[in-house]
Structure 1
Amino acid sequence: MKTKAEPIDRYFSEYFDVDPKALEDYGALDVSVITDLPLFIDPFLLFTSDRPEYQELHEDILKYLRFLKSKSVAKLDSGLIDSWYRFAEVKQNWLGYTLLGNGGRGLGREFAEALYDTLATILSNFGEEDGTGTHLEKLTLIKDGVGKDSISDFTTNLIKEYLVLYTQKFAQENIAPAKRRKFVVPRVKFDYRTETWMRKRYDLPALDGDFVLLTPIDMLTLDEVWINHKGMIKSYDSIPPALPDKQLRAQVGNYFSRQLTRRPTKRERDDAAKRTFSEFPELIDEYIRQREEQWHDAAPSSARKVDDAKEVLVSQPKRAVEDLRNRTNFYDLPYDTYEEALSRVQAFKYYIEHQDGYRLINRKGGAFSKESEVQVYFGLLWTNSRFDVNREPNNGRGPVDFKISYGAGDKSLIEFKLGSNSSLKNNLEKQVEIYKMANKTDKAIKVIVCYSETQQMRVAKILAELNLLNEPSVVVIDARNDNKPSASTA
């Protein structure tokens, strides 16, 4: 017999019985307590803030980095590198890339050793820059692939004491004692006298045996942090001409041009720019100087993006959960994982197409631009289940979007794609089949979300070519917001 599941608490305000307005007034993000939200702390927002405590935090970060630099001149034991240069992810803030959970990778040994080596060589002038400020982000500019998550993780570790005290104050004033506990928080403050990280005890919100941390919204960004490697490479053409040293400009130009073919591709130019930045660290300082000159744009730009993320990943899912419970059978529990998965996908499709749900899977001014946004949104809605629901488990052949399981013998997969995906045909033909083999299951559902008539026509053509037009496990969702008639005219 099917039963209607009770809604579970998806957000901090719901789990801890706090008025969302209290969090808003306090300046804190109403984080999800079931999945990380893809937001990140940007240290540049601390640097440019007019709040004295933020400026002090930024200076504290630089103080620790100067300490690391002083230690980088000597050969260190691997244990000391781990102690001083290596940090785990502070998963308790529920920010980052992990979906349906909060267990990220953190800053591993590779990051620690790169930081140790870089401070001693390429960035030996760290903290002694001429004409520009010192920034944590500088440590990541020289290495491709070290992005906002690494910078955010590092910053979070170095301002952990502030975040813990910030959360404790709110918790003691707004959360019942029954939902708080005294936790010993490790590596919360660095003692320069003993050169060791200290632990302290705090009164914090408790969730499943662990604590939860709040983060001020005005520290956060959605996309890249203000000073970032990708932006530096993109800005290359404007940087060498701004160098004041004529001889240096000539050397940089010669070095860069010698690496290019007669008709270089964008990738070749980007690779040449990366090598040039590495060879001439003065270019990094010039890029930072230019970003500093544009500082007044940083906070408003981040605020707009974070407001958009809050609407898409906090406000809209809250409204959708209530809507789905009242208007669909989305939270009914069928017999096995495939039935439940397909039932939920079909209920989600019906809600989007026939009950104005398309309004909640579109952002103001346009569609969800990334598959990850649709996946996060669906994951936030689907958490009331007697089955184990995992997001992007990687069982040997790459990550699948969702795996629903009940023990070892009953597993089903769900893979989301946008109708605009240029590799859609190949994905439909091969990708899910590979995932099914890796996860040892023959049950998989492919969900395709279309935001335009052109996408729908393209998807229909692909499905026809693959003989999948009438396949029940392939579900196409019409999420267009330009063709939904009102109930009075439908």
Structure 2
Amino acid sequence: MARVKDPTLFSVYFGVESDALQAAGLIDPFLDVDINLFIDPVLLEKSSHPQIRKQGIDEFRRHFQNFVRLLAISKEENDAAWKAARRQLDLREPPENGLGYGGSGRSGSSRPEDVRIAIMRTSKEIIELGANDPEMVSLMGFFEENVGADTISDFTARVITEQLASITEAFCKANSIPVHDCNVSTDHKLPLFTTVRGRKVPIVLVPLDIVRELPVANDWSEIERAALQNARIRDRVNRYLGGLARPTIADRKFALRKAAMGSVEDFDLFLAAVKDNVTSYDPNLDALGYYRLKAIFSNGFEGLKQPRTYNLSVGPQEIIRLVNDTLDLFKRHVEKGNLWEELWIEGKPKKERASQLIYYAIADAFCKANNVDISPEANMGGGPIDFKFSSGYAARVLVEMKRSGGTVVHGYEKQLEFYKDASQTEFGIFVIIDYGDLGNKVNEIRQIQQTRIDIGARASEIIVIDATPKASASKRK
């Protein structure tokens, strides 16, 4: 994964007010960091943008009607019709819109062939039920474990590229942003972003009302909630779950799949329920903290003093001091200021991503001032660690951030240690965001920490941040 330094907003780079994008109903994207949102094709026909609501949905349906038609006439895998359908399913990641799980770089990628085959096989199974709605592909992330929401977003974006390019070109011309010919669109010109390596990258803007937040670990709970608004589906799901006291995500997915794919009528009912009840990402709730992150990078962080300098030549201990200072500042604003409010949504904790993004924005200011690389969600062979701070090869510090209601003990005892081994460093900091449900977990991990210290091993630091609701500053003593 590429390192992230000085993330750049579209509005800042092109000198346009972020409010202008908001007024136009468009995301103000980071040009060098992916946003954890995805285009949901179920939302296309609900868009306030006529290019999407009319031409976009028509193009999406036309494209996948052809896909469905080819699969319907295919007699066996790898016959001519199957291969033609396969060509209709372009899973390459479009780097121009900056949506997805990627932490940085925005470079497009392709997905394994088995993902494409999984989508095609499930689509064929649905077609054999008698269903032919081309929007069936919208639900593949739910029906197939290896198909993520970002995959669905990417093939949707490629199908409606011309409509997105049209919206982008119109906004840029209205706001005096230069546009240029590029290989993304045949009919429209797009703005170009010059990367740190001098490469010119075309940018496509995406409407706010066709995106949702990316589910974590393929947890499509929103799809589940939307589908269960229908009483018939709800009753069928409850029958499949039977007497399970605590059904797992896998149990619920199995029950929903069975409920949806019992017959063509069941599938059509399931798809209709999802389309009726799924909604776009709400900027007012800001469950991911994206808008707070954007505000910090646009206007700075109130209360963030000019970071002091650090003598990085003395080794990793100095980077640890820098990282601890960033965490101290984050902790102070959550516990003593009002930043805790940004971590809650309608009386419930926001997703883990929200606290990570806000902390990242604060830490970036320190790193920028001291020429330290910060890589959010850096993958070092053992999976994605939340943050890696580095200066040269030897000086690396990892930070893992967990919600108190999550797998805290496993995260400290196993996960962080695995990441440290993979990245060949001894330095790790484990941060717990405490929403009031921590229980005895912190005592358990402190015992693990002490045991490691007693045998002479290096134990990762533990920091607990109290994110429980506080009284207003004027009422605190």
TM-score (norm 2): 0.77
Structure 2 counterparts to residues 246-265 of structure 1, below 5 A = none
Per-residue CA distance 1:324-379 (angstroms, 9 max, x = gap): 475435575552533332222223223333344334x4345446432222222222
Which residue pairs with 1:352 in the alignment?
Answer: 334
Q: How many residues align?
A: 443
Aligned to 2:23: 25
8 Å contact from structure 1 (residues 137, 227) kept in 2 = no
1:212 aligns with 2:203: yes
| Counterpart-to-counterpart distance in 2, 1:377 and 1:98 | 17
CA distance 1:184–1:128, shift in 2 (3 Å) = closer
Which residue of 393, 396, 404 corresponds with 1:411? Answer: 396
Q: Give me the whole-angstrom Cα distance separating, in 2, the residues matched to 1:320 and 1:201.
A: 30
* Residue 100 of structure 1: how far off its partner (Å): 3.9
Q: Which residue of 468, 472, 476 corresponds with 1:480?
A: 468
- For the 8 Å contact 1:107–1:154, the answer to whether it is kept is no
Contact kept? 1:30, 1:314, Cα under 8 Å: no
Q: Could you say which residue in structure 2 is the equivalent of 1:271?
A: 254
Are the counterparts in 1 of residues 131 and 267 from structure 2 also a CA contact under 8 Å? Answer: no
Structure 2 Cα separation of the partners of residues 174 and 22 of structure 1 = 8
- Find out whether 1:362 has 2:346 as its counterpart: no
Partner of residue 378, structure 2: 393
Give, in angstroms, the shift of residue 418 of structure 1: 1.8
Distance 2:408 2:220 in 1: 33
Higher-Rg structure is: 1
- The 1:37/1:261 distance shift into structure 2, 3 A limit, reads closer
SS in 2 for 1:184: coil
What residue is the counterpart of 1:434 in the other structure?
A: 418
Secondary structure of the equivalent of 1:383?
Answer: helix
1:309 is paired with a residue whose SS is coil
Deviation at 1:64, TM superposition (A): 0.9
Query: What pairs up with 1:223-262 in 2 under 5 angstroms?
Result: 230-231=224-225, 238-239=232-233
Aligned pairs (5 A) from 1:310-325: 312-315=289-292, 318-319=295-296, 324=301
Q: Is the 8 A contact 1:181 1:206 kept in 2?
A: no
Alignment partner of 2:45 out of 47, 50, 63? 47
The aligned residue for residue 166 of structure 1 is 167
Cα distance change on mapping 1:434 and 1:30 into 2, 3 Å: same
Is 1:203 matched with 2:190? yes
The AA in structure 2 aligned to 1:67 is N
Q: CA–CA distance in 1 between the matches of 2:25 and 2:415?
A: 43
| Structure 2 equivalent of residue 123 of structure 1 | 127
The equivalent of 1:4 in structure 2 is none
Partner residue of 1:451? 435
SS at match of 2:127: coil
Tell me, in whole angstroms, the C-alpha distance in 2 between the residues paired with 1:141 and 1:427: 27
Q: Is the 8 A contact 2:326 2:362 kept in 1?
A: no
Residue 88 (structure 2) aligned to one of 81, 84, 87: 84
Please list every run of 5 or more consecutive structure 2 residues that lacks an aligned counterpart in the other structure.
313-317, 454-458
- Number of the residue aligned with 1:284: 267
Structure 1 unaligned regions, length at least 5: 1-6, 189-198, 242-251
CA contact (8 A) 1:390 1:403 kept: yes
Q: What is the CA deviation profile of residues 395-434 of structure 1, one whole-angstrom value per residue up to 9, with x for unaligned ones?
A: 332221111222322211111112222x212322232222
Cα distance in 2 for residues equivalent to 1:182 and 1:401: 38
The change in CA–CA distance for 1:141 and 1:338 in structure 2 (over 3 A counts) is closer
In structure 1, C-alpha distance between the alignment counterparts of 2:212 and 2:116, rounded to whole Å: 24
Within 1, Cα distance between the matches of 2:259 and 2:333?
A: 53
Matches within 5 A, 1:59-208: 59-72=58-71, 73-74=73-74, 75-76=79-80, 83-103=87-107, 107-124=111-128, 128=132, 135-138=136-139, 142-177=143-178, 181-185=180-184, 188=185, 202-208=189-195
Query: Are residue 462 (structure 1) and residue 444 (structure 2) matched?
Result: yes
